[in-house]
Amino acid sequence: MKNDTHPTYYPSCKVYHNGEVVMTVGATVPEMHVEVWSGSHPFFTGKSQFVDAAGRVEKFQRKFSGGYFQGKVAKGKKPAGRK
């Protein structure tokens, strides 16, 4: 087998939800930050919880500088399309 092909394994990876450690698992990263976990998911708790589904597009646009859907076309040139 080849050496140094596997990532580093952390047997005590801490999982954070809302700034609190909710569990410890084995993983390839030292810590994880999650938005939803089984202790807060409505299916497991029986309580309804507001999940910001409408903010997903804005989060995506912030991540990619917001200009992802705004293509820039040079003056005098037509955008590429069907002939």
Locate the domains of the chain by residue range.
10-61
Contact 73, 79 (CB under 8 A): yes
User: So what's the pLDDT on residue 32?
Assistant: 92
Rounded to the nearest integer, the mean pLDDT of the chain is 76
49-81 confidence digits (pLDDT tens)? 565 666 777 777 777 775 555 655 555 556 555
What pTM did the predictor assign? 0.47
Percent of residues, the chain, with pLDDT higher than 90: 23
For the CA atoms of 8, 12, 49, 56, what is the dihedral angle to 10 degrees? -20
24-35 confidence digits (pLDDT tens)? 999 999 999 988
User: So what's the pLDDT on residue 66?
Assistant: 55
